[in-house]
Amino acid sequence: MHAPCKSIVVKLGGSLITEKDKPYTIAWDRLSRAARIIGTYYRRYAEEGLRLVVVHGGGSYGHYAVHEARQKVVIDQLDVARIQLVMNELAIKVARSLIEEKVPVTIIPGHALCPKRKGRCNLSLLIENVVRGMVPLTYGDGIYNEGVVIISGDDLAILAASAINADCLVFVSNVPGVLDEDGVVIPHVSSPNQVPDLTGTSNRVDLTGGMKAKVEKALSFSRDYEDTRIFIVDLEGLEKLLRGERAGTLLSSPSD
């Protein structure tokens, strides 16, 4: 069987790999399962020239670190260095889990791809590594620009998808897809207006707009990249998609 996705970006949401309402807490069971699923897919199709990029979000590491820094009146370079360090610590754990599954991961910090400001990123380092058969792992990060500027993992996933001409862009989160008001997965979303805000009142800190922002950005990307299929899934959905089955929510702009 041919690979369901030959060129794929998988974004492991911070909500998946960390306990988002508990500062600096990794969800080890979910992280190892994610690594197992990705590892199985990688080992199966690597020899066919699979192109794979993994991105992860901030979860209870990045979002909390930025939130803490923002309690100060002035955020200086040292505060940003601390945010970057915390994200690097999370990335090392993600990388270790993937390398244990024999995925040749190379960590490329988000701040190295977008050192100036968001919207001004250079993905040549990432492309170079894909060409040489490595699997870049990049992640949501912060840079210093008169305070902290957040580079979101969702944005990096979209940039990476365009850089490697991905046929699949998969956002893996702790929910099985975009949910309607009754908590039922909406199989196809073509407008952010279809996304009710179900965040509720939990302790979780989120600074990059949650599910609605993700959908907005992904839909705007899909207008220019019609060949990229974009999904929002949980781990079970990721497993299904990588077996070539339908899962979660497919995001695509209405064709006009």
Ligand X SMILES: Nc1ncnc2c1ncn2[C@@H]1O[C@H](COP(=O)(O)OP(=O)(O)OP(=O)(O)O)[C@@H](O)[C@H]1O
Residue with smaller CB distance to ligand X, 146 or 181: 181
174 binds ligand X (CB under 6 A): yes
For residue 74, the minimal CB distance to ligand X (Å) is: 26
Parallel, antiparallel or unpaired: strands 51-56 and 7-12 = parallel
The one segment of 107-115, 125-133, 142-150, 202-210 that binds ligand X by CB under 6 A: 202-210
Q: Among all chains, which residue has been given the structure tokens 């040292």? A: 78
The one segment of 86-94, 102-110, 115-123, 209-217 that binds ligand X by CB under 6 A: 209-217
The one segment of 42-50, 94-102, 208-216, 235-243 that binds ligand X by CB under 6 A: 208-216
Parallel, antiparallel or unpaired: strands 105-107 and 135-139 = parallel
Exactly one of 79, 101, 167, 206 binds ligand X (CB under 6 A); that residue is 206
CA 52 to chain centre: 13
Give the tokens for residue 27: 């969800």
205 binds ligand X (CB under 6 A): no
Residues 6+ apart with CB under 8 A from 222: 228, 230, 251, 252, 253
For residue 211, the minimal CB distance to ligand X (Å) is: 4
Beta carbons of 230 and 5 less than 8 angstroms apart: no
Exactly one of 5, 8, 10, 15 binds ligand X (CB under 6 A); that residue is 15
Residue with smaller CB distance to ligand X, 50 or 185: 185
153 binds ligand X (CB under 6 A): yes
For residue 28, the minimal CB distance to ligand X (Å) is: 16
Q: What are the beta bridge partners of residue 205?
A: none
The mark string for 110-149 relative to ligand X (x by CB under 6 A, - otherwise) is: ----------------------------------------
Task: Looking at residues 19 to 78 of the shown chain, list those that interact with ligand X (rule: CB under 6 A).
Answer: 20, 57-59, 63
Listed residue (32, 3, 239, 35) closest to 137, CA to CA: 35
Residue with smaller CB distance to ligand X, 133 or 183: 183
For residue 159, the minimal CB distance to ligand X (Å) is: 15
Total residues at the site for ligand X (CB under 6 A)?
25
- Cα within 13 Å of Cα(121), Cβ side: 30
Exactly one of 50, 175, 189, 205 binds ligand X (CB under 6 A); that residue is 175
Contacts of 158-162 with C-beta under 8 Å, sequence gap 24+, read 158/217, 158/218, 158/221, 159/113, 159/121, 159/123, 160/9, 160/53, 160/55, 160/123, 160/126, 160/136, 161/9, 161/53, 161/221, 161/225, 161/228, 162/221, 162/224, 162/225
195 binds ligand X (CB under 6 A): yes
Strand order in the sheet with 168-172: 105-107, 135-139, 51-56, 7-12, 168-172, 229-233, 249-251, 188-189
Residue numbers at the binding site for ligand X (CB under 6 A): 13-16, 20, 57-59, 63, 153, 173-175, 178-179, 195-199, 206, 208, 210-211, 214
